[in-house]
């Protein structure tokens, strides 16, 4: 039987709730090659659009009336080479142009220049963890839960729950919560979702969980696969 672990914390923002997006700060990341090379990490003001934050931080060239990013810091999209700029917010692949997304406090805006030869869409990445558990998408968050399938995993599950501000729920009422599954199978960290802002399902094995708890930054900028 799978069990649900509460972190012993109160979630202050439940599904559908959000804070004012005019105050506070967000984070801007710029990388390339699926996060393998980091070009910029910076703090930006919340309340502006993702495009404005990007343009204030670096040199950007756009097309289609300023709604599509063609190049960042001199690195241009290459249609023939199937390489372009893609952006995520709190790990979600954005469902709108950067000029149409308003940053909320705590958001992580992540631009990555990569090949789309094998996959043009990547709905969710793990590299912004503990996002999207903490700040959700477009100012709306979901209840977070930890599910584990062995009593021996309970201490580690509770520790992970503290990272994501998990709320106590019962296994049959997970519903549309964001869930981190801690399994006894020794699998790498991975994530799935139906789309931007939708419920996420993260899965992690005990070895990867131990490493993540020791240093949460180990997963930073990864698309998937912390073992």
Per-residue pLDDT of 216-227, as tens digits, reads 999 999 999 887
Per-residue pLDDT of 110-129, as tens digits, reads 999 999 998 899 999 999 99
Q: Is the pLDDT of residue 9 over 60?
A: no
Residue carrying the six token digits 């241009």: 76
More confident residue, 16 or 151: 151
Ordered by where they begin, the domains of the chain are: 3-17+129-219 (no CATH), 25-115 (2.170.130.30)
Per-residue pLDDT of 173-198, as tens digits, reads 788 999 999 999 999 999 999 999 99
Mean pLDDT on 20-28:
82
Task: Report pTM.
Answer: 0.88
What is the C-alpha separation between 191 and 18, in angstroms, rounded? 23
């Amino acid at each position: 039987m799978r069990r649900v672990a509460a972190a012993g914390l109160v979630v202050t923002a439940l599904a559908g709730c959000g804070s004012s997006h005019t105050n506070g700060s967000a984070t801007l990341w710029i990388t390339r090659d699926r996060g393998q090379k980091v070009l910029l990490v910076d703090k930006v003001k919340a309340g502006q659009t993702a495009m404005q934050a990007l343009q204030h931080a670096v040199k950007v060239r756009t097309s289609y009336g300023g709604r599509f990013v063609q190049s960042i810091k001199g690195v241009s999209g290459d249609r023939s080479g199937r390489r372009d700029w893609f952006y995520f917010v709190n790990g979600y692949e954005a469902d709108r142009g950067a000029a149409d997304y308003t940053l909320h406090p705590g958001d992580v805006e992540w631009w990555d220049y990569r090949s789309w030869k094998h996959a043009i869409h990547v709905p969710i990445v793990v590299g912004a963890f503990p996002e999207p558990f903490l700040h959700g998408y477009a100012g709306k968050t979901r209840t977070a839960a930890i599910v584990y399938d062995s009593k021996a995993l309970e201490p580690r599950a509770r520790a992970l729950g503290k990272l994501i501000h998990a709320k106590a729920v019962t296994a049959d009422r997970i519903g549309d919560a964001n869930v981190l599954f801690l399994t006894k199978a020794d699998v790498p960290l991975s994530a799935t979702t139906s789309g931007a802002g939708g419920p996420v399902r993260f899965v992690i094995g005990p070895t990867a969980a131990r490493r993540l708890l020791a240093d949460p930054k180990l997963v930073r900028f990864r698309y998937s696969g912390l073992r």
